[in-house]
Chains A and B, each alone.
Chain A
Amino acid sequence: MYVPENQADLLLYIDKHQAGFQLIANGSDLINRIQRRQVNPKVLVDLTGLKELSYVKKENGTFRIGAMTTISELVACPLFDSQYGAFRDVAKKFGGPSIVNVATVGGNVCSASSSEDLLPLLLVLNAQVRLRSIKGDRVMRVEEFLKEKRVVDLNPNEIMVEAVFPEIDRDSRCAFEKVGMRNSLITAFVNCAVYLKLAKKTMQIEEIRIAFNRLNRKIPGRAKNTEEKMLRQTLDEKCLAAAIVTLKNELQLTSDFRASQEYRVEVACAIFKRTVTKCAEELAGEKLRV
């Protein structure tokens, strides 16, 4: 194991070696996969000493979250006011205290799988990741960063240093929902994050972004066809019904021993409807009939 004391040492190391190592944050399932000899990285590079990567800042209308920030630190941050309740929704169903205390934002993003609950929310917030190497930084959208299950667009000499997303407008909200077999330690059948900007008086959808833990691949993705369908529509029952028709076509989910494909599609549509409604209700400040 290599234990860097600071970013500079780390960047030098990974630039020098380029291969044969695995970056580790905290409490990941990597340790179990090593124990079961499913993976055998030659060197583990422990990032937990990089305290400077643990932060939540708001600068110039942009949130910047350090990659080593834990989910519990994220949720406890006072910078997230009620507009960002979705983060609390994510944390609440993330797993018990022992999981949110160690799971990191960077770990979540770079694990690139449908069981990383933060990803759908980051996708609808139009988040980007900042990647750093000894040669400098580059920034890219989370959507592009996720290539396939467990594979991200990270060069061998790079680390993810932060996730950034713009502040959301006053008349917008985001929400998150997750459905699994029980109320804690949930392996999700489906989870959904929505960002909604609504013109209050007309209830016209000015902006909408929808993401699921799986859309048509084994990684989180945005339901862009459905988003397009809903844009500039008036948010009402008819609109949601039409959106669901599009969504059902857009979702390409599979059956496995946990749940059938039909069920997952049904529930995805149900929680899509609920998260959109929740956003709208929070904006309107009253119970909506949708």
Chain B
Amino acid sequence: MVEDRAAVATLIQKQKMLYVGKSVGRVDSLDKVLGRPIYTMDIVPENVLYLKVVRSKVAHALLKRVDLTEARNYPGVTAVVTAQDIPGINESAALLPDKPLFATNKVRFAGEPIAAIASYDSSIAEEAVDLVKIDYEPLQSIFSPVEALNPNAPKLHEKGNIAKHMKVRKGNVDEGFRQADLIVEGTYKTPFQDPVPLEPETGFVIPEPDGSVTCVGSMQSPFHVQTGIAKILSLRPEQVRVIQAATGGAFGPKSDEMPVDVLGMAALVAVRTRKPAALAYTREESMIGHTKRHPFVTTLKVGVKKNGKLTAWEAKLVADTGAYASLGPLVVIRACFHATGPYVIPNVKTDSYCVYTNNTMAGSFRGFGGPQAHFAAESHMDEIAKKLSMDPVDLRVLNMLRPGALMATSQLVDEGCGLEECVSRVVKESDWYGTREKFSKLTGPKKRGLGIAILYHGNSLGPEGSDFGTVHMQIDKDGTVRLRTALTEYGTGAPSALLQIAAETMCLPLEYFRLDPPDTDYCNDSGPTVASRTITIGGRATQMVAGKLNQKLKEIAGDILQTTGTEIESTSGTYYKKLHPEESIAFRDVVALAYSKGITLKEADTFTAPKCEYDPETSQGTTYLQFTYGAVTAEVEVDTETGRVQVLKMVTAYDVGKAINPVSVEGQIEGGTIQGLGYAIMEEMIHKDGVVVNPNLADYYIPTSLDVPEIKTIIVEYPGRLGPYGAKAIGEPPIVLPAPAIVNAIDNAIGVRISEIPATPDRVLTGYKRRAVQ
């Protein structure tokens, strides 16, 4: 960790970089634009067994009888597997050991896997699923997390219905409320949001002759999958080889249980039959079976002085984690830390709860509690502004975090905080005051509004796990520099950016570099590819390893040029003596020489982030090593006759520390923004008695090309302490702010507070009519 950030910032500005900070192409683009067969189901050969899963139709019940006889005897069925066929442990759980791979005597959600049927013909497997006879004895179900908190509610798991309770305690809120001139309360609700990766979950397993297995699949975290499969099959991790195939979108859930579910079931069939087995979820199965964003019910009580200064913030966030916890406990931790929004508040009391219900599962999803926390906080800030007759921007500017301030966790905001600049730039670009003035004068049924929301986002895992990244590099005889890591590509472009960092560190042309596929046989664990860690943690590891390799090359060059490695400089593949630059040797020659001398050009290293220390009872301390900051404005048009909301224009500014690849950073920002827009106005997975009623893309709406607003993206750079070149996380933050910004814009347009998203036309029109009546 670099201590003197001011010096680093100057250094970065002075440094003319070859690759870092440039919008160079990604290494995976060519395969993708050519439509090469790189995804799991593209590489599954002919004559493999296809699985179809038998799933519970009921949310909460005892399985009195599961009769697979007819299915087993159905012509063409090769194998049927259940929990009884598991040699190891019947478990596929990402964090708490609360979820089986196959249900045995009880099911807890509608869609829970009970068995899997395999055939060489997938339609036969599907027909056989219909032949399975199940007798359910329904149990009392809970579908509301608030209900589940009730001490009299039936216990869905042995340890009760609360999987996690997290707290922030700072100062004394009662005192803070006493000091306040005004206290504002509000309740905010967010829905289940489905990630909708365009490639549903897929996996393929080959049983190897030596008893090991090779697993290929769509996933984010190969080593988590390795651990999970080894547990199920009762194998040593080294006997489970996991390779990530090109992954058609992930967004979080493919780092949870799903890849282990899919590959676990396929592996059981493969190991039993000694034949390769593949499983591809249908879209419907995917939407029912994979984890989604936690719905939150958040109640806020905030004290503020007449002049707008916040004095106290009390928050209760209740998250519905569904039948099994998945990463819910960590989601509520992050939500807890961010529940106040990026503001200076002397007295804070936050309680967040991760609660079981009999709905389908919620788990990791881009933002990871941040969207829910900020939806509540930023909606509430506008409500406060309204009650104080203050402009929403002015209220935020008065209270927002600046270097030297303390967060809700009493963490000191360091100089790597670009929030102020983000806010001032979106205010300027959106012509905040002028536009709102203009909109207030519009007449007619279509009304316009402009809203703002701001965020902070703790980078990487922080308290969520041990934060390390491992990178391997080697140089082939022909001079190809290979980088290998278990950090995966699934659309972010981040692994490609690691090559930029490597090339920059080694002063070699980017064309020399190649990224190898993540394969547990050839690289070490790098932790999960989540929390936007690839560049912040993986990038640091890359710098270390590339540095070591570069050192080695310089020493070899120095040897030839009869000097020491420290006297060698290099540019674009030429190594030369600092004092006599005409004496040089080409990279390829250095490599050739190394090979001839038997020197291995191979390095690997792990970067481990310092641990975050904080009080587990009050969360006071250091929760994250660096923060991304951002601000977003949204301009909307509300049709007051149909309730439809069109988002016309958005301005987004994010302090990304250092944009390693600006066009890729923009791509992430734009993509996250649109995913956030969907969350704001159209996306909602609806359960009825625990059964998902819209598990398809006709009734679960994600934005189309015609729904996209004009987006102006502003990249702000205040280097952080953690990432390479000060780079910060940008994969997740962009999904956080569109919802509160849009909902605030709707309020500006029609004076209606939509406190439950999505702001569907129904909700908007109902709110508008109600207000018109008052």
Residues of chain A with a CB closer than 8 A to B126's CB: 37
Please tell me if B769 contacts chain A, counting CB pairs below 8 Å: yes
Known contacts A257-B694, A263-B762: A182-B682 contact under CB 8 Å:
yes
Chain A neighbourhood of B642, CB < 8 A: 179, 267, 270-271
CB-CB under 8 A from B641, the residues of chain A are 267, 270, 273-274
Binary contact track B689-705/A, C-beta < 8 Å → 1, others 0: 00001100111010111
- Please give the distance in Å from A106's CB to the nearest CB on chain B: 22
Inter-chain contact B643/A263, CB cutoff 8 Å = yes
Asked if B130 contacts A37 (CB within 8 A), the reply is yes
Within 8 A of A (CB), among B689-727: 693-694, 697-699, 701, 703-707
B-contact bits for A96-131, CB 8 A (1 contact / 0 none)? 100000000000000000000000000000000000
Chain B residues with CB below 8 A from A260, complex form:
762, 766
Nearest opposing residue in chain B for A96, CB measure:
B704
With A184-B704, A187-B698, A257-B693 known as contacts, the answer to whether A266 contacts B688 (CB < 8 A) is no
Expressed in whole angstroms, the Cα–Cα distance for A198 and B578 within the complex equals 90
Q: Which residue of A lies closest to B129 (CB)?
A: A37
Q: Does A183 contact B (CB under 8 A)?
A: yes
CA distance A172 to B355 in the complex (A): 61
Query: Is A183 in contact with B761, judged by CB distance below 8 angstroms?
Result: no
CB contacts (< 8 Å) of B682 on chain A: these are: 181-182
Asked whether A189 is an interface residue with its Cβ less than 8 Å from the other chain, the reply is yes
Give the residues in chain A near B707, CB-CB below 8 Å.
182-184
Q: Flag whether B765 is at the interface (Cβ < 8 A).
A: yes
Contact B762 A259 (CB under 8 A): yes
* Cβ-defined contact, B704 with A185, below 8 A: yes
**A40 CA to B719 CA, complexed, in Å:** 62
Interchain Cβ contacts within 8 Å, total number: 62
Query: Could you say which residues of chain A place their CB within 8 Å of the CB of B697?
Result: 185
**Do A189 and B706 form a contact, CB below 8 Å, given A37-B130, A257-B688?**
no
Residues of A within 8 A of B699 (CB): 187, 257-258
**Is residue B686 contacting chain A, with contact meaning CB distance below 8 A?**
yes
Report whether A263 and B701 are in contact in the complex, using a CB–CB cutoff of 8 Å: no
Partner of B704, one of A183, A257, A258, A267: A183
A96 and B707 CA atoms in complex are apart in Å by 13
Give the Cβ gap from A178 to chain B, nearest Cβ, in Å. Answer: 11
Instruction: Flag if B705 contacts A184 (CB, 8 Å).
Output: yes
A182 to B644, CA, bound (A): 8
Q: How far is the CB of B614 from chain A (nearest CB, A)?
A: 42
Q: Which residues of A contact B686 (CB under 8 A)?
A: 257
A249–B406 Cα distance when bound, in Å, is 60
Known contacts A183-B704, A184-B704, A270-B642; A263 and B765 CB within 8 A of each other: yes
Chain B residues, Cβ within 8 Å of A183: 646, 704, 706-707
Q: How far is the CA of A263 from the CA of B760 in the complex (A)?
A: 11
Q: Mark A175-203, 1 if CB is under 8 A from B, else 0.
A: 00001011111010100000000000000
B697 to chain A, nearest CB (A): 8
Contacts of B766 in A (CB 8 A): 260, 262-263
Question: Do B704 and A266 have beta carbons less than 8 Å apart?
Answer: no
Interface string of B637-657 (1 = CB under 8 A from A): 000011110100000000000
B residues 750-774 near A (Cβ < 8 Å) are 760-762, 765-766, 769
In the complex, the chain A residue whose C-beta lies closest to that of B701 is A181
Within 8 A of B (CB), among A218-260: 257-260
In whole angstroms, what is the CA distance A189 to B642 when docked?
A: 10
Known: A37-B127, A182-B682, A257-B686. A266 touches B706 (CB 8 A): no
- Tell me the nearest residue of chain B to A255, going by C-beta: B762
Residues facing B in A71-109 (CB within 8 A) are 96
How far is it, in angstroms, between the C-alpha of A29 and the C-alpha of B643 when the chains are bound?
Answer: 30
**Alpha-carbon gap, A266 to B762, bound state (A):** 10
CB distance from B701 to the nearest CB of A (A): 5
**C-alpha gap A107/B126 in the complex (Å):** 29
Q: When the two chains form their complex, are residues B761 and A267 in contact, meaning their CB atoms are under 8 A apart?
A: yes
Interfacial residues of chain B within 606-631, with CB under 8 A of chain A in the complex? none
Determine how close the nearest CB of chain A comes to the CB of B703; give it in whole angstroms: 7
Known: A257-B688, A266-B765, A267-B765. A184 touches B706 (CB 8 A): yes
**Can you name the residue of chain A whose Cβ is closest to the Cβ of B696?**
A32
B:652-687 near A, CB below 8 Å: 682, 686
CB-defined contacts of A96 to chain B, threshold 8 Å: 704
Q: Complex Cα distance A273/B641, Å?
A: 10
Q: How far is the CA of A266 from the CA of B761 in the complex (A)?
A: 11
Q: Which residues of A contact B130 (CB under 8 A)?
A: 37
B75-112 vs A, Cβ < 8 Å mask (1 yes, 0 no): 00000000000000000000000000000000000000
Chain A nearest CB: distance from B109 CB in Å? 18
Contact with B along A43-63 (1 / 0, CB 8 A): 000000000000000000000
Q: How far is the CA of A179 from the CA of B698 in the complex (A)?
A: 15
Q: Report the minimal beta-carbon distance from A109 to chain B, rounded to whole angstroms.
A: 21
Q: Which residues of B contact A184 (CB under 8 A)?
A: 704-707
For residue A256, which residue of chain B has the nearest CB? B693
* Smallest CB separation, A262 vs chain B (Å): 8
Which residues of chain A are near B762, meaning CB under 8 Å? 259-260, 263
CB distance from A238 to the nearest CB of B (A): 18
User: Given the complex, which residues of A lie within 8 Å of B688, measured CB to CB?
Assistant: 257
Interface centre among A96, A184, A263, A273 (most CB of B within 10 A): A263
Give bound CA distance, A203 to B705, whole Å.
40
Complex Cα distance A260/B686, Å? 14
* Residues of A with C-beta under 8 A to B701: 181-182, 185, 187
Min CB gap A192→B, angstroms: 11
Cβ A267 vs Cβ B643 within 8 A: yes
B residues less than 8 Å from A257 (CB atoms)? 686, 688, 693-694, 699
Q: How far is the CA of A183 from the CA of B694 in the complex (A)?
A: 19
Cα distance A259–B706 in the bound complex, in angstroms: 22
Residues of chain A lying within 8 A (CB to CB) of residue B765: 263, 266-267
**Most chain B C-beta atoms within 10 Å of own C-beta, residue among A37, A267, A271:** A267
CA distance A260 to B762 in the complex (A): 7
User: With contacts A37-B126, A37-B130, A187-B699 known, is A182 near B761, CB below 8 A?
Assistant: no
**A-chain residues with CB within 8 Å of residue B704 when the two chains form the complex:** 96, 182-185
Q: Tell me the B395-412 residues at the A interface (CB within 8 Å).
A: none
A263 to B642, CA, bound (A): 8
Within 8 A of A (CB), among B118-141: 126-127, 130
- Smallest CB–CB gap between A268 and chain B, Å? 10
1/0 per residue, CB under 8 A from B, across A21-51: the answer is: 0000000000000000100000000000000
Task: List residues of chain A with CB within 8 A of the CB of B761.
Answer: 179, 181, 189, 259, 263, 267
Return the contact of B706 from the options A37, A181, A182 (Cβ within 8 A).
A182
Nearest CB in chain A to that of B641: its residue: A270
Smallest CB-CB separation from B445: which chain A residue? A270
A54 to chain B, nearest CB (A): 27
CA distance A270 to B765 in the complex (A): 11
Against B, the Cβ 8 Å flags (1 = close, 0 = not) of A140-173 are 0000000000000000000000000000000000
A182 touches B694 (CB 8 A): no
Which residues on the A side are within 8 Å of B705 (C-beta)?
Answer: 184
List, sorted by A's number, 14 A–B pairs whose CB atoms are closer than 8 Å: A96-B704, A179-B761, A182-B701, A183-B704, A184-B705, A184-B706, A185-B697, A185-B698, A187-B698, A260-B762, A263-B766, A267-B641, A270-B641, A273-B641
Task: Given contacts A257-B693, A263-B766, list 6 more A-B pairs with CB under 8 A.
Answer: A181-B682, A181-B760, A182-B707, A187-B699, A259-B762, A263-B761
Nearest 8 Cβ contacts at the A-B interface: A183-B706, A270-B641, A184-B704, A263-B762, A184-B706, A181-B701, A181-B682, A257-B686
